[in-house]
């Protein structure tokens, strides 16, 4: 009897040790609010109308996910993440054909050598540069994005079929690289992607830079390689102004090259930042146009009290090349005030104003704030949202 008790205790101890070596965490974020937008066109394209609506993801996209790790010994772990985006107002998935539409990857992580993961993942513009822009943080988010989010700092699309490496921290330096396969026989470069990035943190200084490259051979939406690296239907897209489809703009150009850099500097409770990005698009579908977008963002956030955060950003954007004649440029001003009831629950009020100048007849000559369901009927648009956010 004594031996049985000892054996049972030993097995229980061993089971506890095994249990401690692996873990799975359920996490998520729910963001919903009431949004006012002026001058939205109707579904038939008729003139501008004010719109009062309940919205999901006014600052951060609502999502839930599973994150897991298993200790393999010697500082090595097996890791995975599965993350789903959804609309909290009606319970629908953000994507109709994906269960885990935001993230789905598995890999290994080493404290000495970094991590290597495979699946559907974010690119290095999102990982290294977006945190320096308010659109890539909890202090700005969806409506703060640069026009059409063409630089993807708001994480409007992710990379399928991707292999990704991220280094450990080397005295403040971090490096990353990603490659997304086209998965097409005879079309190795047809809808592929690759990206690199780096960051450096030293005291109050935080610097980051990234590069993203997309290739595509399609000349119409119907020819798009739907098993390739970029196939999302999320987010505002310039292509939506030209055709009914709404895939990311870079997926409908023969080549997209996006790069940028940014810096944040903390002065006690005040953090000031600057971000620059440029996106070059070669042979935009149906037009053959080449164009580029440049974004200059200055931002600031201030912790007024431990519970109250204020943030604001100004972005100047311009398009060039031969995209429809003229040289459209945008001025966008955004502001947010946030009150935290706890570490998990907060309320916010935020607003964005956008104005665009373009030659008459240019399809980019109407304002369209990111995250707003339809563009304005004029060159100006404003939105304001009061929202509630909860993390778990």
Give the model confidence (pLDDT) of 127-143 as tens digits. Answer: 999 999 999 999 999 99
Specify which residues 211 forms β-bridges with.
196, 259
Task: Please give the helix or strand (H or E) that residue 4 lies within, else none.
Answer: helix 2-21
Which 3 state secondary structure label does DSSP give 337? strand
**To the nearest 10°, the Cα dihedral for 297, 300, 301, 302?**
180
Q: What is the pLDDT of residue 14?
A: 39
Nearest to 336 by CA among 370, 367, 299: 299
Q: What is the pLDDT of residue 220?
A: 63
Which 3 state secondary structure label does DSSP give 144? helix
Residue found by looking up tokens 């079309």 in the block: 187
Length of the chain in terms of residues written: 392
CB 149 within 8 A of CB 142: no
Give the model confidence (pLDDT) of 115-124 as tens digits. Answer: 999 999 999 9
Q: What is the DSSP letter of 91?
A: -
In angstroms, how far is CA 160 from the centroid of its own chain? 14
Class of the CATH-defined domain 23-391: mainly beta
Report the C-alpha gap between 223 and 254 in whole angstroms: 12
Q: Which residues have C-beta within 8 Å of that of residue 278, sequence separation ≥ 6?
A: 258, 259, 260, 292, 293, 294, 295
Q: What is the pLDDT of residue 63?
A: 97
Q: What is the pLDDT of residue 322?
A: 59
Give the model confidence (pLDDT) of 310-344 as tens digits. Answer: 999 999 999 987 544 568 999 999 999 999 999 99
CB 263 within 8 A of CB 206: yes
Q: What is the pLDDT of residue 117?
A: 98
Q: What is the pLDDT of residue 246?
A: 41
Nearest to 386 by CA among 345, 349, 334: 349
Angle at 256 between CA 250 and CA 257, to 5 degrees: 140
Report the C-alpha gap between 57 and 388 in whole angstroms: 10
The confidence band for 363, taking pLDDT boundaries of 50, 70 and 90, is confident
Two structure tokens written together for 358: 């373009």
Q: What is the pLDDT of residue 225?
A: 87
Count the neighbouring beta carbons within 10 Å of the beta carbon of residue 157.
26
Task: Please give the helix or strand (H or E) that residue 17 lies within, else none.
Answer: helix 2-21
Two structure tokens written together for 147: 């026009």
| Mean pLDDT confidence for 184-207 | 95
pTM of the model: 0.88
The confidence band for 4, taking pLDDT boundaries of 50, 70 and 90, is very low
Report the C-alpha gap between 158 and 229 in whole angstroms: 8
Q: Which residues have C-beta within 8 Å of that of residue 6, sequence separation ≥ 6?
A: none
The confidence band for 16, taking pLDDT boundaries of 50, 70 and 90, is very low
Region of poorest pLDDT, from 198-207, 269-278, 310-319, 364-373: 364-373
| pLDDT score of 286 more than 80 | no
CB 265 within 8 A of CB 275: no
Give the model confidence (pLDDT) of 202-260 as tens digits. Answer: 999 999 999 999 998 766 666 778 899 998 743 333 444 443 334 555 556 789 999 99
Two structure tokens written together for 110: 């080493």
Q: What is the mean pLDDT of the chain?
A: 88
**% of the chain surpassing 70 pLDDT:** 85
Report the C-alpha gap between 168 and 173 in whole angstroms: 8
| Mean pLDDT confidence for 353-371 | 89
Q: Burial of 232 by CB count in 10 Å (0-12 exposed, 13-18 middle, 19+ buried)?
A: buried
| pLDDT score of 356 more than 80 | yes
Two structure tokens written together for 318: 């311009």
Domain boundaries, the chain: 23-391
């Amino acid at each position: 009897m004594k031996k049985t008790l000892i054996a049972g205790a030993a097995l229980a101890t061993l089971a506890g040790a095994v249990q401690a070596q692996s873990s799975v965490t359920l996490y998520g974020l729910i963001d919903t609010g009431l949004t006012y937008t002026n001058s939205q066109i109707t579904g038939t394209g008729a003139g501008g109308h004010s719109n009062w609506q309940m919205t999901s993801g006014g600052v951060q996209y609502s999502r839930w996910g599973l994150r897991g790790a298993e200790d393999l010994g010697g500082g090595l772990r097996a890791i995975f993440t599965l993350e789903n985006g959804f609309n909290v107002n009606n319970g629908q998935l953000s994507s109709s054909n994906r269960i885990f539409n935001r993230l789905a990857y598995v890999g290994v992580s080493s404290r000495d050598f970094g991590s290597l993961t495979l699946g559907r993942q974010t690119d290095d513009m999102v990982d290294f540069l977006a945190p320096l822009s308010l659109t890539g943080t909890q202090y700005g988010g969806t409506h703060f994005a640069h026009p059409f989010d063409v630089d993807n700092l708001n994480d409007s699309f992710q990379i399928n079929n991707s292999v990704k490496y991220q280094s450990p921290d080397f005295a403040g330096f971090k490096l990353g690289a990603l490659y997304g396969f086209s998965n097409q026989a005879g079309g190795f470069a047809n809808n592929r992607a690759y990206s690199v990035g780096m960051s450096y943190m030293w005291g109050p200084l935080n610097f980051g830079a990234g590069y993203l490259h997309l290739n595509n051979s399609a000349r119409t939406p119907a020819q798009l390689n739907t098993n390739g690296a970029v196939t999302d239907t999320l987010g505002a897209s310039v292509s939506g102004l030209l055709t009914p489809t709404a895939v990311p703009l870079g997926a409908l150009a023969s080549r997209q090259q996006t790069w940028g850099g940014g810096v944040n500097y903390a002065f006690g409770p005040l953090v000031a930042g600057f971000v620059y990005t440029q996106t070059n698009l070669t042979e935009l579908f149906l037009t053959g146009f080449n164009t580029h977008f440049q974004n200059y963002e200055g931002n600031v956030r201030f912790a007024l009290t431990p519970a109250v955060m204020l943030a604001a950003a100004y972005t100047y954007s311009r398009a060039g090349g031969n995209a429809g004649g003229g040289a459209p440029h945008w001025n966008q001003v955004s502001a947010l005030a946030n009150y935290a009831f706890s570490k998990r629950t907060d309320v916010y009020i935020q607003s964005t104003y956008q104005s665009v100048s373009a030659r008459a007849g240019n399809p980019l000559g109407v304002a369209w704030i990111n995250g707003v369901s339809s563009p304005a009927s004029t060159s100006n648009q404003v939105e304001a949202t009061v929202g509630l956010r909860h993390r778990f």
